[in-house]
Every structure is written in structure tokens, then in C-alpha cells.
Amino acid sequence: MQPLRQLLGALKQLATPQACLFTPADLRAVLPQLSDVAFNTLLSRAVSSGHLQRVCRGLYRYDTYPSNLPFSLSQAATKLRPMDLNYLSLETVLSDAGVISQIPINRIMVMSSGRSNVIDCNSWGSIEFVHTRQTPDSLVEHLHYDPQNKMWRASVKQALRDMKATHRSTDLIDWSVTNELMQQNV
């Protein structure tokens, strides 16, 4: 069987609307017999033929579902850095809580135990990874799992701490809303 057909057959079995993002390592497991050069050529062919969409370097979207079906940038973040501590914070959390008036469009801010970096995900937006040295033990009371984004999310209090720790501008923060939320212990 041709490698492209093998790859597409495996993707049809593995992909779901909720899990349509794949790293090259995920795809490599399907065709371990190919050389690195042949595998990279296969990925290029799958992208140029429209079967895969390149989200960013190291991440592909299987295009069997309608392209308007959204995947979240948080799914991409967890797929790109599966071994790191990652959680939504900074302006993303503060905007969602109504603490800052500006809404980051097509951009999420993620605190990460990995290095700081901004990943451009083409038309889907971008992910800003901001390095933190905090340990999971020190964060356990300040994070909760967000089932919608399938990722950990900081409390407003923790997001404010992260803003200060990373020396980000606090000019847009509505302190009256912040104080109200702090009294509610959000």
C-alpha cells in the first residue's frame, strides 16, 4: 500500500472532531519504515494535496472535518508542549473575567515551564508562551481545569501575580472590578 494511503487510512481511524491535531511524531508512528527524508516528503504531499493543514511548525490538522470547525488554540498549546506545565493566564484570563476591557482576538497567553515563545498558528491566531519557574505544588490552589479549553486556567488572583512577575503592563486593568473579584475570592 502506498504511504500516503496508509497515512490517510490511519488518520481516518484516529481523528475525531475533538482530536484532529497531530504532531509529526504522532504521524511518524504510523509509518516507521520510511526514512526521515521520505517521511518529510510525505507530509509535504499530504499538505499540498489538502489532506493535512499545517497549523504551525510541528503541528498539523487533519482536514476531514469542515475547515470552519474550530479547534482551540489551547488544544494546539497542549499538543505542542505536552511535557510542560501549561496554563492559561495573563491577559487571556483577565479579559475573560472582565478585569481588562480589551479582548485578545485570536491570541492566547499561556504560562509554561518551557521557554518563552510566540507561535504563529497562521489564520487560527497565535499562542504566546511565557516562561514561569513556579512549580505545580505552588500553583495547585490557584489553578482549575477548564473543560471547554481542555487546559488548566489561572484564577484572577494568579493571573494578576503572573502579570506582575512578568512585568506586563497593568494599565488596562479595571481595579474596581479586580477588587470586587478578590473579595469574592475568584
98, three cell numbers: 472582565
Q: 49 with 132, same domain?
A: no
Is residue 122 within 8 A of residue 143, CB to CB? The reply is no
| Ramachandran quadrant class, 122 (left: phi over 0; alpha: psi -120 to 50; beta: rest) | left
Task: Tell me the sheet residues that pair with 151.
Answer: 146
Q: 143 with 93, same domain?
A: yes
Structural domain harbouring 43? 3-62
Q: 109 with 30, same domain?
A: no
pLDDT digits (tens, 9 = 90+) for 59-87: 999 866 555 445 689 989 999 999 999 99
68 lies in some domain: no
Q: 97 with 8, same domain?
A: no
Chain mean pLDDT for the chain: 88
55, three cell numbers: 497549523
Amino acid at 44: S
| Domains: count for the chain | 2
Antiparallel, parallel or unpaired: β 86-88 and 151-154: parallel
User: Where among 16, 42, 62 does a domain terminate?
Assistant: 62
91 lies in some domain: yes
Q: 26 with 114, same domain?
A: no
* CATH number, domain containing residue 58: 1.10.10.10
What is the pTM (predicted TM-score) of this model?
A: 0.86
Q: 114 with 169, same domain?
A: yes
Q: 174 with 89, same domain?
A: yes
96 vs 101: CA distance, rounded Å:
9
Q: 27 with 89, same domain?
A: no
71 vs 172: CA distance, rounded Å:
29
67 lies in some domain: no
Q: Which of 136, 139, 114 is nearest to 127 (CA)?
A: 114
Max Cα-Cα span within the chain: 65
40 vs 54: CA distance, rounded Å:
13
Q: 55 with 99, same domain?
A: no
- Residues listed for the chain: 186
pLDDT digits (tens, 9 = 90+) for 92-149: 999 998 888 777 788 999 999 999 999 999 888 999 999 999 999 999 999 999 998 8
